[in-house]
A and B are shown apart, each in its own frame.
Chain A
Amino acid sequence: MVIKLNPEQAVLFGAGGRGGKAAVAEPEEASRKGRTVIRLSTTKAERQQEKAEQAKAERAAAREAKAAGNGKGSKKAPPAAETAQSMAAKQREISVSEFFTKNRHLLGFDNPRKALLTAVKEAVDNSLDACDESHILPDITVEIRAVEGYEDRFTVAIADNGPGIVKQQIPRIFGKLLYGSKFHRLRQSRGQQGIGISAAGMYGQLTTGKPMRIISRTGKDKPAHYFEIHIDTAKNEPQILKDEEKPWEVERGTRVEFELEAKFQRGRQSVDEYLQQTAVANPHAKIVYKAPDGQDMEFPRGAKDAPPQPREIKPHPYGIELGALMHVLRTTRSRNVCGCLSQDFSRVSPQSARKICERAGIEPKGRPSRIAAQEAERLYRAIQETKLMNPPTDCLAPIGEEALVAGLQKEFKADFYTAVTRSPAVYRGNPFVVEAALAWGGELPADELGRVLRFANRVPLLYQQGSCSIWESVLEVDWKNYHVEQSRGAPPSGPLVITVHFASVWVPFTSESKEAIASYPEVVKEIKLALQECGRRVSVFLSRRRRELEEERKKSYITKYIPHIGIGLREILGFPEKEEQKIVKQLTNILEKTRGGVE
């Protein structure tokens, strides 16, 4: 089971559903093809099997290298050509921690400014997920303090009122990469891969050498556990420096604190913006921000109810790839293919499972593991050709039109708000829902380009706007149809904020730093439909307002100028004041009646 780490494959991971606990990166083939491969292993047996495979692969590589060497490798003498043996000597396992230490940009720690944002984001996303899963209205405090004596070092602390973490899990959750509850299931959540918070800790450790400090308590009558943790990057294992019970005034919750090299700033792509947008998409959360410059911010709760809980679903066969299918077949508890298909996947009934087998020319009673080895490809093709129901969509929990509007109202003073939640749709077997909301007018700046807020599973996306399907869809909608100005290749301009939320059991991010959503045609189509509906509504609002303004202007014109006609006529004809009043009244009547006529 060798898997490239790219978004396509990340989807496959999720669809596979039975991934192991530990993830190990291995440089297999990397030296040959210049690619990085990461390997996941679960059981001891598998690991042994893998070792054998590895040895086999090494031998194969050696043969190939030799062949290549005989062919054309000897054209240039210096530097001395590697032999398969010398290369083998250099080939060794890379831990996922080591891998990400060298490739921190993949996780969003490209530069000190972004690192601060990413660290806060990972912690807050975790807190919100934990609170939502245990039906607690989130109460989150983000604190950033400058470390004395340093210009570029900050302490970040995030505290929540969530369910807390049991003692023995604390070190693993914070001190191990790719460890978590969210990766192996198909369920709409903020976190996806189990990399985030430990990566933030690892970045802190890398840049300051300081450990992560965690305190957590699961209830009033339970003690609070305090840990100081380092990550052993070579082994991807937590190293516990301190483990003690501590008095804590908080009844229930978790607080994580770490030091890191960072740059503090405000404005675009800052912690402020992230928290503000988080507040828009999570109106049920209360967030307090204590900033190092003393300008604290508070985002109050705007909704009383916690969002409904999304359900976990099994993968849909349309979205699965061959390797993942083989993995399912190997690891299923079912005794035959038919049972495996109908039990491990959603929307495969026993009848359709039989149909698939028939099409593939496979004995329905056949043992799954045997099929995996010999007939998986035929089975895979048969699945794609068989008509199946779309995956269930009640597993999704969109923000909802009302809450979206509430979120916008809380953070932007505008004249008009609207929101659209589309019906669920499917891309590659994954159900998803698109929501769009729009605010117009009020205190929004009128002579700038409209702002576009992007969200995936309630998490604001602040980077890589240009490569995101949300941005692409905003540009593709013809806003002029809705009386909103738009230049070529630009978002609409005017006093408006556009919000798009993409909710899915698996969000197709373009990279591990989770900053942009990949442009699947189904996704772009849904986003555009949602935006167009918002556009139609704002257009109705705008034309109604224009009409009202015009009416008002006409009315004020009439009351302003009619009396002067009376005065003028009276001056010319010299009639009494009573006649003047009569004329003014009559004229007003005439104009009111014919208002909006020609001229």
Chain B
Amino acid sequence: MVKRKKVEAPKISLAALRDAGSPAGRAETVGHIRKTADKMVGEIHRGDRPNLRFPIRSLNNVEYDPKVGYFELLGKKTERTLAYSTVKTFAQSVRMMAAAKTNIEDEEICSKREMYYNSKAWGECRFAEQPESDTVMDDIEALFGVNREQLGFVPDEKGGDVAGKLMILDRDAQSGKPLKIDCTKQGSGAWSIPSKVEHLGFETNAKFILVVETSALFQRLVYHGYWDKANCIVISMGGVPTRACRRFIRRLADEKRIPVYVFTDGDPYGYGNIYRTLKVGSGNAAHINRFFCVPQASYLGVTPQDIIDFDLKDATHPLEDVDIKRAKDALKNDPFFKIYPQWQAAINQMIEMGVRVEQQAFAKHGLNYVINNYLPKKLAHPEKFLP
């Protein structure tokens, strides 16, 4: 059993994510949009080609400082000047800005998919595929430095599942009456994180939050009541964590000062994409990482060393070319991994061993080996977790 110990919230403050519903927030965002449009009209009247300046959304435009705790945007910007080659995206951006303004003023929400269908009324200017509309949406979000929810756009994605020693304080969707949700009483199911988590409150005395990658493992933990034995909260990300999921974990961990331990597959994707995004955010949405990061998270496993320590060698798969490329890319280009020698050692070890390992690999020693042996052994030494 792990001793309960309070964890300090990160030094950086939990940036206030304005509720898109608040009148002040709404007015400010609309002001942004109008200002941008005004500037364009001015340029047009002067006979200049209008242009929009976007921050570059990629890993080489972010920096990482552990004291800050998340990927910060560097100043690099790209200019989209109106020309015949950009006129289509330009028109689409302007029309989506207009749609966002309407959303905010009408207090309406619009999913990414709905936005895509909404564009079908724009004639020639419509999006052919949803990825096109998602990209323009990300651009606008970055242009104004806001979260898409502030523009009235909500993701379709599921936020993640929660079970364990946690009481969630929510409001009834219609009446607005306070509501208490007991995450110990979800039976064989779980409570789903909604796309907006700003208004939620928490009651818990759990010792830690265990965040797992796959829902298969999550189900095993729930089925055997692991959270009860370990006195913890279990959250399933189901792949790369959504913004809501990251925000939820961050708020819960900050507010209740409990540690966050992450348990993913032992492969470059689990380290580089899932864990890193949860902890410090992504390059693509760097302008909002400060809202969507969990700097206090640490990495439980599966580490390459675990393969040796827990005799999993014959339960591994060889690394494919894409894995190796991803691993080398992380070492070379990811500011997060470049900071931590522990991570570099781990990734190099994996490349050297040439294998990856899944969370389920522990079934080699028996289905509940992961609950009865692996997790307790690891949790006895959280100081050994990777940063």
A→B interface (CB under 8 Å): 554, 557-558, 560-562, 564-565, 567-569, 571-573, 583, 586-587, 589-591, 594-599
Evaluate contact between A567 and B45: CB separation under 8 angstroms.
no
| Docked complex Cα distance between A595 and B47 (Å) | 14
Evaluate contact between B87 and A561: CB separation under 8 angstroms.
yes
Residue in B40, B82, B85, B87 whose CB lies within 8 Å of A569: B40
Sampled A-B contacts (15; CB under 8 Å): A557-B84, A557-B87, A558-B84, A558-B87, A561-B91, A564-B94, A564-B95, A564-B124, A565-B90, A583-B45, A587-B82, A589-B47, A590-B48, A591-B82, A591-B84
For chain B, residues 88 to 145, give those with C-beta under 8 angstroms from any C-beta of chain A. Answer: 88, 90-92, 94-95, 97-98, 101-102, 122-125
Shortest CB-to-CB span from A518 to chain B, Å, is: 54
Shortest CB-to-CB span from A288 to chain B, Å, is: 53
Evaluate contact between B87 and A591: CB separation under 8 angstroms.
yes
Complex interface: chain A residues within 8 A of B102 (CB): 571
The residue in B44, B49, B90 that gathers the most chain A C-beta atoms within 10 A of its C-beta is B44
Evaluate contact between A564 and B122: CB separation under 8 angstroms.
yes
Evaluate contact between B85 and A599: CB separation under 8 angstroms.
yes
Q: In the complex, which residue of chain A has the Cβ closest to the Cβ of B123?
A: A564
Beyond known contacts A568-B95, A571-B95, A599-B85: 14 more, CB 8 A cutoff: A560-B88, A560-B124, A561-B124, A564-B91, A565-B90, A569-B37, A573-B34, A573-B38, A586-B45, A586-B47, A590-B47, A594-B49, A598-B83, A599-B81
Q: Does any Cβ of A come within 8 Å of B86's Cβ?
A: yes
Shortest CB-to-CB span from A596 to chain B, Å, is: 8
Q: Does any Cβ of A come within 8 Å of B380's Cβ?
A: no
With contact pairs A558-B84, A586-B47 given, residues A564 and B125 touching in the complex (Cβ less than 8 Å): yes
Complex interface: chain A residues within 8 A of B33 (CB): 572
The residue in B37, B86, B102 that gathers the most chain A C-beta atoms within 10 A of its C-beta is B37
What class of interface size applies to chain B in its complex with A? 20 to 34
Evaluate contact between B49 and A557: CB separation under 8 angstroms.
no
Evaluate contact between A568 and B94: CB separation under 8 angstroms.
yes
Complex interface: chain B residues within 8 A of A594 (CB): 49, 83
Complex interface: chain B residues within 8 A of A561 (CB): 87-88, 90-91, 124-125
Scan B5-43; emit 1 where CB is below 8 A from any A CB, else 0. Answer: 000000000000000000000000000011001101100
Complex interface: chain A residues within 8 A of B95 (CB): 564, 567-568, 571
Residue in B47, B97, B124 whose CB lies within 8 Å of A568: B97
B→A interface (CB under 8 Å): 33-34, 37-38, 40-41, 44-45, 47-50, 81-88, 90-92, 94-95, 97-98, 101-102, 122-125
| Docked complex Cα distance between A248 and B254 (Å) | 114
Evaluate contact between B94 and A565: CB separation under 8 angstroms.
yes
User: What are the 3 tightest A-B residue pairs by CB atom distance, in nearest-first order?
Assistant: A568-B94, A571-B98, A564-B91
Complex interface: chain B residues within 8 A of A595 (CB): 84
Interface of A is mostly: helix
Complex interface: chain B residues within 8 A of A583 (CB): 41, 44-45
Evaluate contact between A590 and B49: CB separation under 8 angstroms.
yes
Complex interface: chain B residues within 8 A of A558 (CB): 84, 87
Complex interface: chain A residues within 8 A of B97 (CB): 568, 572
With contact pairs A561-B88, A561-B124, A594-B49 given, residues A587 and B37 touching in the complex (Cβ less than 8 Å): no
| Docked complex Cα distance between A598 and B82 (Å) | 11
Residue in A564, A569, A591 whose CB lies within 8 Å of B41: A569
Shortest CB-to-CB span from B96 to chain A, Å, is: 8
Shortest CB-to-CB span from A24 to chain B, Å, is: 78
Evaluate contact between A573 and B49: CB separation under 8 angstroms.
no
Evaluate contact between A565 and B91: CB separation under 8 angstroms.
yes
Complex interface: chain A residues within 8 A of B87 (CB): 557-558, 561-562, 565, 591
| Docked complex Cα distance between A568 and B100 (Å) | 11
| Docked complex Cα distance between A560 and B87 (Å) | 9
Q: In the complex, which residue of chain B has the Cβ closest to the Cβ of A568?
A: B94
Evaluate contact between A572 and B98: CB separation under 8 angstroms.
yes
Evaluate contact between B86 and A599: CB separation under 8 angstroms.
yes
Evaluate contact between A573 and B37: CB separation under 8 angstroms.
yes
Complex interface: chain B residues within 8 A of A589 (CB): 47
Q: In the complex, which residue of chain B has the Cβ closest to the Cβ of A560?
A: B124
| Docked complex Cα distance between A562 and B49 (Å) | 12
Shortest CB-to-CB span from B115 to chain A, Å, is: 14
Shortest CB-to-CB span from A83 to chain B, Å, is: 82
Evaluate contact between B101 and A571: CB separation under 8 angstroms.
yes
| Docked complex Cα distance between A589 and B49 (Å) | 10
Evaluate contact between B37 and A572: CB separation under 8 angstroms.
yes
| Docked complex Cα distance between A583 and B91 (Å) | 13
Complex interface: chain B residues within 8 A of A567 (CB): 95, 98
Complex interface: chain B residues within 8 A of A591 (CB): 49, 82-84, 87
Complex interface: chain A residues within 8 A of B94 (CB): 564-565, 568-569, 572
Shortest CB-to-CB span from A378 to chain B, Å, is: 77
Complex interface: chain B residues within 8 A of A597 (CB): 83
| Docked complex Cα distance between A589 and B90 (Å) | 17
| Docked complex Cα distance between A573 and B45 (Å) | 15
